Amino acid sequence: MQVPQLSILINDQFTLGNVDDMNLATLFYVYDPMCSWCWGYKPTWTFLEEQLKQQFPQLSIEYRLGGLAADTDEPMPEEMEEFLQQTWQQVSQQLGTEFNFDFWAKCQPRRATYPACRGVLLARDKGLEQQFYQAVQQAYYLEAKNPSDDDTLISIATELGMDSSAFACALNSEDTQQRLQQEINQTRRLPIQGFPSLVMALNGDLILIELDYKNAQTSFKQIESLMQEVVLDA
């Protein structure tokens, strides 16, 4: 079942030369750590990723941040709160995903996902991107904690064994903000339709992979077919 995704602006043609460590075949998983559809897709993506690693060890899998919402200190508007709560309910009803709706009573929500994205970048530097990403989702959707708050992100970093002082200093630094903006700019030049998205770079081409939230085989079969080109061209 294909669930409608959040539409975002796509810029000019993505330049392959902007992607670090580009291999012959690379699959990009495009996400935001506070995207509820990414949370709903998590079981299917985890299964698909393991399948691909086992079947195609020559395929490089890269995580790329898209960035949903820039920094703000303003409380989330009531209309946005209602929209996001309805989205959580939609994801839960269609995919069976668990959500802790206490978040909306316990926290002061802000429409800001960039802080969590910057935390992901710092965790990536330590080889902990996926662990940090999963911890943000756990805190946000199950523990009713707010990943828009620095304290929540610092706590996650500490639990993962990162230096809390160094993390706190770097989280909102100009360098980290510039790195995030550069990644967002590059990611939005991929032929994506929203978050999450899968894009395969193959022999200089960028191919949008069909994504099914309930069935990993939809994406797997398309990627399997494309990977035959790698074998044939080897």
- 124-134 pLDDT, tens digit each: 999 999 999 99
* φ, ψ at 190 (rounded to 5°): -75, 155
Return the pLDDT at 193: 83
Return the pLDDT at 24: 74
Return the pLDDT at 150: 98
Q: What is the pTM of this model?
A: 0.88
Rounded Cα gap, residues 181 and 187, in angstroms = 10
The per-residue pLDDT for range 213-234, each reduced to its tens digit, is 999 999 999 999 999 876 555 5
Rounded Cα gap, residues 156 and 133, in angstroms = 10
Return the pLDDT at 147: 98
The encoded tokens of residue 20 equal 């670090």
58-67 mean pLDDT: 96
